[in-house]
Structure 1
Amino acid sequence: MRSRTAALALSLGIVLVSGTAGAQALTVRKAGEPEAVTSWQRDACAQSDAPDTPARAFRDADGTVHLIASHSTARALTGPSLNDVRPNCVIIFQGHGQDDPRLHDDRSWISSFYTLDGSTVFALVSNEFHAQKRRALCPSGDYMRCWRNSITAAVSTDGGASFRLSTAPPGHTVATLPYPYSGDAGKRTGYFAPSNIVRHGDHWYAFLWAERFGAQKRGACLMRTDSLADPQSWRGWDGKSFAVRFVRDGQAADSPEAHLCAPVAPDTLQGTVRSIVRHRASGQFIATLAMTRDGQTGMWTTTSPDLLTWSKPELLWAAPLLFRYGCGDAAAFDYPALLDPGSESRNFEDVGGTAYLYMTRLNLTGCKITWNRDLVRMPVEIAPQKR
């Protein structure tokens, strides 16, 4: 008899991986100690050249691997393989600091990449509007109280050597709140931190993080598209189907709730989904999160056959986190992402029995976060959970 999950997925046009609807969850285990990929003190091209997004990778048409884990002024590591990338100081992307929040083009973190041919590379961008620098919009001058975030799109036509906005602002917007920017909201608002993009069936998928605001609930939202070239084609999960059409600020004043996403598995995905990859042998998806759960802080994994139903999270590695560290800690960690140097995907969207957990190590100075951050990776093994 077809499982309830499979029946629901088929009724919604969601393609499940054959044989995985009731598949056993996977365990990701630490298989060694973290090792440095880059050192800020040794490799930084500028003071702000520090890893501030999860590591993403793709192969261009010539076979060169591009690994990006960068700040708002983005640079890449490049090389013949994922194990042999080196820093490249060429700036590949940055936002334009526009003062109008409706343009969604202020400080921008390019975060997610997908290419079909290695020449044209599509990307998702996390755009932060920093109203504390525009006191007319944010009288308090407080970064967190006035921060509005949105997801936008960029594209490269030279194999990832440089990126530009996919179209003129605000046409490049992918996911934004339907509510007009309200200045000092007392907290950060909007859609944040897209995961990497994965192909599943006839669509491409990515997670984003939503903060509670208006009718928007807090949690991990899932969106999908059938056209990476069209920023407006992304649709969010509404709890029943991918029917949420994101609209720009104030365009749905009469019914904003119709344009808000529903968090997926809110009791399980309790933190930002930093990466999703497919396990080649089982077809299961693995999500990585940095969060505190059951009193334990660190890097967690959970698995899914369909991106909607997720297993109970397992602690992969206990560690202090960004915003969850003590003054006695030497470093904090964030932005976990699984990458397999032997991936069969041009976009490193799959893993085998071994992989690396890439993370940012934030080296603390006087109990404070500074620019001194390193990209590190830790070897892991992936296997079915023991029953």
Structure 2
Amino acid sequence: MFRRTAALAFTLGMVATQAATQADALTVRTVGEPETVTSWQRDACAESDAPDTPARAFRDAGGTVHLIASHSTARALTGPSLDAVRPNCRVIFQGHAQDDPRLHDDRSWISSFYTPDGTTVFALVSNEFHAQKRRALCPSGEYMRCWRNSITSAISSDGGASFRLSAPPPNHTVATLPYPYSGDVGQRTGYFAPSNIVRNGDHWYAFLWAERFGAQQRGACLMRTDNLADPRAWRGWDGKSFSVRFVRETQAGDPPEAHVCAPVAPDVLQGTVRSIVRHRASGLFIATLAMTRDGQTGVWTATSPDLVNWSKPQLLRAAPLLFRYGCGDAAAFDYPALLDPGSQSRNFEDVGKSAYVYMTRLNLDKCRITWNRDLVRMRVEIDGG
């Protein structure tokens, strides 16, 4: 009887939380049209200097704002404010093209930053192992059939002017599947695209995207840590608590299913969570996603009090997306991220009544995606809560 009562109480509690989430949901709406932050044709430092990650920002100890939305050879925009950043051609980070997939250090997209003091900057990295370039591992030579992804970590000691791996490979690894790399499996596998890092209470949180493979289910996974300096301190959500310890591969007798994360709100977060910010007035979190839902393709937002329970998504802007566009479209969009120039956080974790949604605009050339892409932003207004 006690177990039944406890189970019922838990179920009712979840229903109440979800109902409260719906009632407290924020409304985010765009104002005006996109404005260009950087143009590849005008501002690129090299051919591959194109925005290929969501825009992230932080202030260093001297007050300079660093805005990073870059490719695998990463550069930053810097300036006195988020509204006044300009391209800086100095390379701040890139992977080391290691041939061994166990090292998790091939082509790397640095994409999430957090600094407690403006001098030391911790970062999460999306590492792609490109086995199509190692035909012994990938006989088909097809990128998507052999792609394995993992989340790794980097650190800066000079306020973000340069980054290095947080530990010698593979000890810089944060999250990877508990299965050895197995070559051509016919699909991409692993953990992808970390969101920005946000502080909530005594922990730091970030989302990542998981593809279905073995015991791992497809969806948006949430992880947290109480020590940004230790890559192995991150723990994934298992559906009830943050108890998933990510490992490079399991040992004999250690079940792989113990080392995979449970997707959060899979009926709601149906695309990669590109950014999460806290609304200052209400304390609610806002997630931005690029996805197709209810037959509509575009940028969506959802609201949460605790990063686990999420409101029904709202369409922020209908738009063609990366890999979801037509040949009649002039451009596709992706990597939406909310940033407020007036943020009270050194890491731009919060937003007020208005902010900007930053996106990459991919300018199509005869139905093809090329290096020609721009970083754009649109003003948004946030109501409710």
Q: TM-score, normalised by structure 2?
A: 0.95
CA contact (8 A) 1:38 1:376 kept: yes
| Per-residue deviation, residues 81-135 of structure 1 (Å, max 9, x unmatched) | 0000000000000000000000000000000000000000000000000000000
Partner of 1:13: none
Does 2:65 match 1:56? no
CA contact (8 A) 1:181 1:249 kept: no
CA distance in 2, matches of 1:239, 1:278: 23
Identical aligned residues as a percent: 84
Partner of 1:140: 140
Aligned residues: 373
CA distance in 1, matches of 2:252, 2:197: 27
CA distance in 1, matches of 2:33, 2:356: 11
Instruction: Name the SS for the 1:257 alignment partner.
Output: helix
Partner of 2:71: 71
CA distance in 1, matches of 2:173, 2:188: 19
| Per-residue deviation, residues 326-372 of structure 1 (Å, max 9, x unmatched) | 00000000000000000000000000000000000000001000000
CA distance in 1, matches of 2:113, 2:185: 31
Does 2:210 match 1:243? no
CA distance in 2, matches of 1:290, 1:253: 39
Partner of 1:11: none
Question: Structure 1 residue 252: deviation in Å?
Answer: 6.3
Question: Structure 1 residue 384: deviation in Å?
Answer: 1.3
Q: Give the 3 Å change call, closer, same or farther, for CA 85–215 of structure 1 in structure 2.
A: same
Partner of 2:289: 289
Partner of 1:311: 311
| Structure 1 segments unaligned to the other structure (5+ residues) | 9-15
Partner of 1:12: none
CA distance in 1, matches of 2:128, 2:48: 16
Q: For 1:221-240, list aligned pairs within 5 A.
A: 221-240=221-240
| Per-residue deviation, residues 164-201 of structure 1 (Å, max 9, x unmatched) | 00000000000000000010010000000000000001
Q: Give the 3 Å change call, closer, same or farther, for CA 124–187 of structure 1 in structure 2.
A: same
Partner of 1:162: 162
Partner of 2:127: 127
Does 2:276 match 1:276? yes
Question: Structure 1 residue 254: deviation in Å?
Answer: 3.6
Q: Residue type of the partner of 2:204?
A: W
Q: Give the 3 Å change call, closer, same or farther, for CA 380–22 of structure 1 in structure 2.
A: closer
Instruction: Name the SS for the 1:243 alignment partner.
Output: strand
CA distance in 1, matches of 2:31, 2:290: 18
Q: For 1:23-34, list aligned pairs within 5 A.
A: 24-34=24-34
Q: Give the 3 Å change call, closer, same or farther, for CA 310–252 of structure 1 in structure 2.
A: farther
Partner of 2:326: 326
| Per-residue deviation, residues 39-74 of structure 1 (Å, max 9, x unmatched) | 000000000000000000000000000000000000
CA distance in 1, matches of 2:30, 2:12: 32
Q: Residue type of the partner of 1:349?
A: E
Does 2:261 match 1:261? yes
Partner of 1:350: 350
Question: Structure 1 residue 157: deviation in Å?
Answer: 0.2
CA contact (8 A) 2:22 2:312 kept: no
CA distance in 2, matches of 1:174, 1:297: 32
Instruction: Name the SS for the 1:34 alignment partner.
Output: strand
Question: Structure 1 residue 32: deviation in Å?
Answer: 1.2
Instruction: Name the SS for the 2:144 alignment partner.
Output: helix
Question: Structure 1 residue 4: deviation in Å?
Answer: 5.7
Q: Give the 3 Å change call, closer, same or farther, for CA 6–54 of structure 1 in structure 2.
A: farther
| Per-residue deviation, residues 124-158 of structure 1 (Å, max 9, x unmatched) | 00000000000000000000000000000000000
Q: Residue type of the partner of 1:372?
A: N
CA distance in 2, matches of 1:253, 1:102: 20
Partner of 2:300: 300
Partner of 1:88: 88
CA distance in 2, matches of 1:81, 1:6: 46
Instruction: Name the SS for the 2:242 alignment partner.
Output: coil
CA contact (8 A) 1:178 1:251 kept: no
Does 2:335 match 1:370? no
Question: Structure 1 residue 7: deviation in Å?
Answer: 6.2
CA distance in 1, matches of 2:252, 2:356: 43
| Per-residue deviation, residues 194-239 of structure 1 (Å, max 9, x unmatched) | 0000000110000000000001000000000000000000000000
CA contact (8 A) 1:54 1:335 kept: yes
| Structure 2 segments unaligned to the other structure (5+ residues) | 1-8
CA contact (8 A) 1:326 1:367 kept: yes
CA contact (8 A) 1:21 1:306 kept: no
Question: Structure 1 residue 241: deviation in Å?
Answer: 0.4
Does 2:46 match 1:46? yes
CA contact (8 A) 1:63 1:80 kept: yes
Q: TM-score, normalised by structure 1?
A: 0.94
Q: Give the 3 Å change call, closer, same or farther, for CA 336–194 of structure 1 in structure 2.
A: same
Partner of 1:197: 197
Instruction: Name the SS for the 2:306 alignment partner.
Output: coil
